[in-house]
Structure 1
Amino acid sequence: MTAAPGLSRIRIGSAPDSWGVWFPDDPHQVPWRQFLDEVSESGYEWIELGPYGYLPTDPDVLRAETERRGLKVSAGTVFTGLHHGPSVWDSTWEQVAKVAALARSQGAEHLVVIPSFWRDDKTGAVLEDRELTAEQWRELARGYERLAREVRETYGLRIVVHPHADTHIDTEDNVTRFLDATDPDLVSLCLDTGHYAYCGGDNVKLIETYGSRIGYLHLKQVDPEVLAAVRAEDLPFGPAVGRGVMCEPPAGVPALQPVLTAAQGLGIELFAIVEQDMYPCEPDRPLPIARRTRAYLRSCGA
């Protein structure tokens, strides 16, 4: 279905995450062919690669598998710990290069970059301080600017940095600090509506205030009641997802219609990729949710 004129600049897609996929290989996850079949059946045209190695990494095989299902790739995803400075550059670039090359081979134009977790998202083990020092903030900003230049020059992709729960780029204060510290010509955001709400941020306000920095969207909602319990217990993100903190739209927050309307008002083409975190999940659970979510987004004009 073609988007209504009001949201004509928004390109809707989904991702392996909406099928409970967090890892390249895991017995709790659906096979990759099932994901591709079902995301296509649900009415989506665009997908992300998900964790590197989940979908085929041979470009020709991946292209054949997506094309025969009418699918196209919008982006790849990597995790980085660039606040640690130059010592992690080589290992970071090694993983970035693999993902960026595969994404580019499929015609993608974006690389979603997620900061590393300060605590383990499964066990809750604290890996480092929750707050960065001033020097670490400087290294973070320099690192992302360098990464943006290298990825653009080598692969022709634009990085979009994804604020994420249990990372150092999470709350409104930390997101705006990051934006103010980085070159707008190099670094844009992947605004994940669920993660930003999870961390207390106002999505519409961010779009209206920093609109020129929004380069990509992840569409997600949070269950306010579950979130209240998660905050009260200071749960790590993994167990919070297991409790259902990220829920099927339109049951949660933020309301997606105002977010999409604000994004449309930016006057640029934007991907809006559905990501409903639900690892682990039963293999028959994602498809009905995906169908209902796609129908709901059509009702919003997307």
Structure 2
Amino acid sequence: MSSPAPALNRIRVGSAPDSWGVWFPDDPLQVPWPRFLDEVTQAGYQWIELGPYGYLPTDPVVLGEETGRRGLKVSAGTVFTGLHHGPVVWEKTWAQVSNVAALTQATGAEHLVVIPSFWRDDKTGQLVEDSTLTARQWRDLAAQTERLGREVRERYGLRVVVHPHADTHIDSEANVSRFLDATDSDLVSLCLDTGHYAYCGGDSVKLIETYGERIGYLHLKQVDPEILAGVIADRVAFGPAVARGVMCEPPSGVPALEPVLTAAQALGVDLFAIVEQDMYPCAADKPLPIAQRTRQFLRTCGA
């Protein structure tokens, strides 16, 4: 009989609307937010992210009542940014960020997940801009992200954690390393999404061991290697890739999550590990059983 996995007592596990097929504030293909809250509780999670701004109630009193009576707490809000475009996009960016940050702060959460904008259309695959940044754009990305980290911390008391993501300029090991080396560790941390990093060829354990002090948050996700190979061969955009099932239920994909969690535990800091299995679009009855099985699997890993 195998011994149980050691307890990961620095890891706080949660889930997110993403694991219920929610990508947009309002969409007929998505489950209504009360059902998400009911089912994420039923699945055994106590922590959630806000998801796309406007999906959950944006009135902090209403949101607090709805999460509180279900025993749920919020770990983070999320924003998309295009900060490599430089100061010209600051006001537009801040208008979005301030709304999300205010709601995130009101929930008692301490993190703001920042996702870079896509270089190709998420549905059609049409190029929106070059997939490679110029040296000037890299400098703007670093400087504006540091500015965002400073402003969000000073005005809302939140910590910015930047999320490497498929079809963005912060994706591969080389680009993630370049971004981290170019930014101030006091202002900018990383939200390591294990699925996206594997999607782009990265090794999550190696990243944690190399840049441990920069890891501020985790998203737990796996990719199906066979489907990913087809996605890469066919140059499929991320949205259609998800529809193919490229993000799969643990533990059937890569990377193995137990070594990732063990490496994160070894950092000796408290970390959120939020399950995010991209499934848009999906049948309304599909997410709950997967979420329940995933939560049970993570318990076998000690989380």
Per the TM superposition, whether the score is higher than 0.5 is yes
Within a 5 Å distance, the mapping from 1:220-299 to structure 2 comes to 220-299=221-300
Distance 1:122 1:48 in 2: 24
SS of residue paired to 1:241: helix
Paired residues of 1:77 and 1:111 also in contact (CA < 8 A)? yes
Paired residues of 1:165 and 1:199 also in contact (CA < 8 A)? yes
1:205 matched to which residue of 2? 206
2:41 matched to which residue of 1? 40
Distance 1:122 1:73 in 2: 29
Within a 5 Å distance, the mapping from 1:141-180 to structure 2 comes to 141-180=142-181
Q: Which amino acid aligns with 1:144?
A: T
1:132 matched to which residue of 2? 133
Distance 2:283 2:40 in 1: 16
Structure 1 runs (4+) greater than 2 angstroms displaced: 3-6
SS of residue paired to 1:177: helix
Paired residues of 1:6 and 1:264 also in contact (CA < 8 A)? no
- What are the superposed Cα offsets for residues 39-85 of structure 1, whole Å, 9 maximum, x if unpaired? 00000000000000000000000000000000000000000000000
For structure 2, list consecutive stretches of 5 or more residues without a partner in the other structure.
Answer: none
- What are the superposed Cα offsets for residues 218-258 of structure 1, whole Å, 9 maximum, x if unpaired? 00000000000001001000000000000000000000000
SS of residue paired to 1:6: coil
Distance 1:183 1:57 in 2: 31
Distance 2:104 2:153 in 1: 13
Paired residues of 2:218 and 2:273 also in contact (CA < 8 A)? yes
Note the C-alpha offset of 1:5: 5.3
Say if 2:75 is the partner of 1:65.
no
1:193 matched to which residue of 2? 194
2:23 matched to which residue of 1? 22
- What are the superposed Cα offsets for residues 180-238 of structure 1, whole Å, 9 maximum, x if unpaired? 00001111000000000000000000000000000000000000000000010010000
Distance 1:284 1:258 in 2: 31
Distance 1:5 1:106 in 2: 31
- What are the superposed Cα offsets for residues 13-64 of structure 1, whole Å, 9 maximum, x if unpaired? 0000000000000000000000000000000000000000000000000000
- What are the superposed Cα offsets for residues 86-140 of structure 1, whole Å, 9 maximum, x if unpaired? 1100000000000000001000000000000000111111100000000000000
SS of residue paired to 1:54: coil
TM-score by length of 2: 0.98
SS of residue paired to 1:62: helix
Distance 1:6 1:282 in 2: 34
SS of residue paired to 2:75: strand
For structure 1, list consecutive stretches of 5 or more residues without a partner in the other structure.
Answer: none
Which has the larger displacement, 119-128 or 139-148? 119-128
TM-score by length of 1: 0.99
Paired residues of 2:164 and 2:176 also in contact (CA < 8 A)? yes
Distance 1:144 1:49 in 2: 21
Note the C-alpha offset of 1:6: 3.2
Q: Which amino acid aligns with 1:160?
A: V
Paired residues of 1:6 and 1:261 also in contact (CA < 8 A)? no
SS of residue paired to 1:7: coil
Q: Quote the sequence identity (%).
A: 79
Note the C-alpha offset of 1:4: 7.0
1:102 matched to which residue of 2? 103
Count of residue pairs brought into register by the alignment? 300
Distance 2:98 2:165 in 1: 22
SS of residue paired to 1:139: helix
Q: Which amino acid aligns with 1:290?
A: A
Distance 1:233 1:4 in 2: 39
